[in-house]
Amino acid sequence: MRRIMAFNQVSADGYFSGPDGNLDWVVQDPEIGKSMAANLSGPGTILFGRRTYEMFESFWPKALDDPKTAPNPHGGGRSAETRAMAVWINEATKVVFSRTRKDVTWRNSRLVRELDPREIEEMKRQPGADMIIFGSGSVASRLSEHGLIDDYQFVVCPVLLGNGRSLLSGLPKSGKLTLEEARPFPSGNVMLRYARAR
């Protein structure tokens, strides 16, 4: 069974983005980048809400072509890790949940109008690598509500945003997690890894 992992950078006061979705407060961390790049294996699948997809789409397709001038919402410059990430993201199957997009033209992208939990379960039963979801608050909330996210990784940055968006909202009930790892980095970031409790 393929797993779905939610990966997010968060502020110490619990926000996942600034009020307007900005991520310029994220404390970049070459060590976390390296660790993620090392774990990228084979063709992956990324699940997206529209907004996060558009943010990724504005950066990653050209991240390899024009590394010097491309804006980089995720920082890390033109490091080997950023390049590995760019290759992996461009190759990955990108499933975009949106009712308003007409189409998606970024390589290996697929538009899905409605998030049907049964279809996600079906995807998890298919062979293939694990799936990952970055940000995408509304999609992450729906998946969490149906118990479809298996793993949560939060990189807690040493920043108080004092305003912003929460990743999950509108869930009818709370859910328990199992702490797998709490790992501080020299940057002051702390990686918290959880599995959904069974």
Footprint of a copy of itself on this chain (CB under 8 A)? 10-16, 18, 25, 141, 144-145, 152, 154, 156, 158-164, 166-179, 182-184, 188-190, 192, 194, 197
Q: Which is nearer to a copy of itself, 85 or 149 (CB)?
A: 149
Q: Which is nearer to a copy of itself, 25 or 59 (CB)?
A: 25
Q: Which is nearer to a copy of itself, 38 or 177 (CB)?
A: 177
Contact 167, 16 (CB under 8 A): yes
Please give the Cα distance from 60 to 78 (Å, whole number). Answer: 12
Closest separation between CB of residue 131 and a copy of itself, Å? 18
Closest separation between CB of residue 175 and a copy of itself, Å? 5
Closest separation between CB of residue 25 and a copy of itself, Å? 5
Q: Which is nearer to a copy of itself, 27 or 129 (CB)?
A: 27
Contact 31, 187 (CB under 8 A): yes
Closest separation between CB of residue 28 and a copy of itself, Å? 14
Closest separation between CB of residue 180 and a copy of itself, Å? 9
Tally Cβ neighbours within 10 Å of residue 102: 7
Please give the Cα distance from 181 to 177 (Å, whole number). Answer: 12
Please give the Cα distance from 115 to 97 (Å, whole number). Answer: 7
Please give the Cα distance from 146 to 32 (Å, whole number). Answer: 29
Closest separation between CB of residue 32 and a copy of itself, Å? 14
> What contacts 102, CB < 8 A, 6 or more positions away?
none
Q: Which is nearer to a copy of itself, 15 or 88 (CB)?
A: 15
How does 5-25 read in b/e, with b if 16+ C-beta sit within 10 Å? bbbbbbbeeebbbbeebeeee
Q: Which is nearer to a copy of itself, 16 or 48 (CB)?
A: 16
Contact 64, 17 (CB under 8 A): no
